[in-house]
């Protein structure tokens, strides 16, 4: 493969947001890093491309130029007849095209002197001994002092750690469409009626739109039919010409399994870092990429064991996601009631937006909702179209 036979400080498997950010962090600290991906970039990644502001501290300035639209309003609906338009004074998210965003991210990381990149290089297994890890690739083995598995939802690296068989998944069905509608006519859309056990979405970008659905795997369903009826029911989407349609898996956050052991550590989708209610994973990929790299740094520099990482991720993500799993079950099994209670209420909408912005966790959201209990009826709104201004 033409790469140094000398052991690398770290081999990172997968060059999505988690792997690139981990490589960026370790590379800036001067470590010799090999970043491997089985794909050649730009590669297609099924994703609506909504990046919430939680990720902002981790995204280099150069990549912020690739943001397509700023999201400061969203249409929450139960079919086109029942809708709430939420406006926020500060942005909640941005949209990106994952192909170009991820390719630019990789190029940026490639600019760091101590980072080497190998594309088109699939990893097939990992062998660990006391001193090193051997990463087995389709082009031969490489050796490292530590390995970060950032190889996405179908991760190979995750299989070296116990409990991977118990991972839970949801299905996401997505199509890409050319957008005729002017951007201002179509805000980001979430429709609780269209996909049983989940929600339908539309994320507009410049001239294009990702349309899809997020569905609990337990539900009896035919996502392709649900997709067609979702698109058909919204006049703003019905005229869109879809050019790519497929179903994918997403890991469900709230996992209790081990996410680091010995010299191997996981980040992003490989570590199940996905919000069970929204399906959001990009911001968590950046965050876990960062935390994994810091953990590897402490291991390489001071010999500190990496096992504490599992607990850190539990406290920050997976513990709160456990609560979110229960909320998702309630909301998606009773979508009409859920819509009427939450998305017709100014206080509850505001709390939910604060969670998405990362200002509040799910537990904090529930506590505040309980404290606001007696006030909630006064903030309930009726009508086909409501604008809620949130600070």
Of the residues 10, 123, 147, 264, which one makes contact with ligand FAD according to CB under 6 A: 123
Interface residues for ligand FAD in 192-211 (CB under 6 A)? 203
Closest distance of CB 204 from ligand FAD, Å: 12
Interface residues for ligand FAD in 275-294 (CB under 6 A)? 279-283, 285
Per-residue 3-state assignment (H helix, E strand, C coil) for the chain: CCCCCCCEEEEEECCCHHHHHHHHHHHHCCCCEEEECCCCCCCCCCCCCEEEHHHHHHCCHHHHCCCCEEECEEEEEECCCEEEEEEECCCCEEECCHHHHHHHHHHHHHCCCCEEEECCCCEEEEEECCCCEEEEECCEEEEEEEEEECCCCCCCHHHHCCCHHHCCEEEEEEEEEECCCCHHHCCEEEECCCCCCEEEEEEECCCEEEEEEEEECCCCCCHHHHHHHHHHHCHHHHCCEEEEEEEEEEECCCCCCCCEECCEEECHHHHCCCCCCCCCCHHHHHHHHHHHHHHHHHHHHHCCCCCHHHHHHHHHHHHHHHHHHHHHHHHHHCHHHHHHHHCCEHHHHHHHHHHHHCCCCHHHHHHHHHHCHHHHHHHECCCCCCEEEEC
Of the residues 23, 150, 192, 353, which one makes contact with ligand FAD according to CB under 6 A: 150
List of residues 6+ apart from 44 with CB closer than 8 A: 98, 99
Closest distance of CB 217 from ligand FAD, Å: 13
Of the residues 9, 151, 191, 272, which one makes contact with ligand FAD according to CB under 6 A: 151
x/- mask, ligand FAD, residues 26-45, rule CB under 6 A, reads: ----------xxxx---x-x
Between residues 57 and 373, which has the closer beta carbon with respect to ligand FAD? 57
Closest distance of CB 250 from ligand FAD, Å: 5
Of the residues 187, 212, 254, 320, which one makes contact with ligand FAD according to CB under 6 A: 212
Of the residues 18, 189, 331, 388, which one makes contact with ligand FAD according to CB under 6 A: 18
State how beta strands 140-149 and 8-13 pair.
Answer: parallel
Of the listed pieces 78-86, 237-245, 272-280, 329-337, which binds ligand FAD according to CB under 6 A? 272-280
Closest distance of CB 296 from ligand FAD, Å: 16
Q: Does 105 bind ligand FAD (CB under 6 A)?
A: no
Is residue 292 a contact partner of residue 264, using CB atoms and an 8 Å limit? no
Q: Does 14 bind ligand FAD (CB under 6 A)?
A: yes
Between residues 33 and 36, which has the closer beta carbon with respect to ligand FAD? 36
Q: Does 213 bind ligand FAD (CB under 6 A)?
A: no
Closest distance of CB 154 from ligand FAD, Å: 6
Of the residues 9, 10, 19, 97, which one makes contact with ligand FAD according to CB under 6 A: 19
Number of residues that bind ligand FAD (CB under 6 A): 40
Between residues 227 and 339, which has the closer beta carbon with respect to ligand FAD? 227
Q: Which residues bind ligand FAD (CB under 6 A)?
A: 13-19, 36-39, 43, 45-50, 122-123, 150-152, 156, 172, 174, 203, 212, 248, 250, 268-270, 274, 279-283, 285
């Amino acid at each position: 493969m033409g790469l140094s036979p000398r052991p690398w400080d770290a081999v990172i498997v997968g060059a999505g947001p988690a792997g690139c950010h981990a490589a960026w962090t370790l590379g800036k600290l001067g470590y010799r890093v090999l970043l491997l991906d089985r794909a050649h970039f730009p590669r297609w990644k099924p994703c609506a491309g909504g990046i919430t502001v939680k990720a902002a501290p981790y995204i280099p300035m150069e990549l912020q130029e690739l943001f397509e639209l700023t999201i400061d309003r969203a249409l929450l609906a139960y079919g086109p007849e029942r809708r709430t338009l939420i406006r926020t004074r500060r942005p909640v998210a941005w949209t990106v095209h994952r192909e170009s965003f991820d390719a630019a991210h990789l190029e940026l990381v490639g600019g760091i002197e101590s980072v080497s990149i190998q594309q088109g290089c699939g990893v097939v297994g990992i062998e660990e001994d006391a001193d090193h890890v051997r990463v087995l690739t389709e082009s031969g083995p490489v050796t490292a002092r530590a390995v970060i598995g950032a190889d996405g939802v179908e991760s190979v690296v995750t299989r070296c750690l116990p409990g991977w068989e118990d991972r839970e998944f949801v299905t996401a069905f997505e199509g890409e469409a050319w957008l005729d509608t002017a951007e201002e006519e179509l805000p980001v859309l979430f429709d609780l009626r269209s996909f049983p056990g989940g929600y339908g979405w539309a994320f507009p970008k410049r001239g294009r739109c990702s349309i899809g659905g997020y569905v609990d795997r337990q539900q009896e369903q035919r996502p392709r039919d649900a997709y067609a009826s979702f698109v058909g029911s919204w006049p703003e989407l019905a005229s869109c010409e879809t050019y790519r349609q497929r179903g994918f898996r997403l890991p469900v956050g709230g996992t209790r399994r081990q996410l680091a052991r010995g010299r191997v550590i996981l980040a992003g989708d490989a570590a199940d870092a996905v919000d069970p209610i929204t399906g959001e994973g990009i911001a968590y990929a950046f965050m876990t990429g960062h935390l994994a790299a810091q953990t590897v740094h402490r291991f390489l520099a001071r010999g500190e064991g990496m096992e504490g990482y599992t607990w850190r991720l539990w406290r920050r993500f997976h513990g709160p996601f456990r609560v979110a799993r229960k909320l998702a079950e309630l909301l998606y099994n009773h979508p009409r009631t859920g819509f009427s209670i939450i998305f017709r209420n100014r206080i509850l909408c505001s709390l939910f937006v604060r969670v998405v912005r990362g200002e509040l966790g799910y537990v904090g959201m529930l506590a505040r909702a309980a404290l606001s209990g007696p006030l909630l009826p006064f903030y309930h709104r009726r009508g086909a179209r409501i604008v809620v201004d949130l600070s």
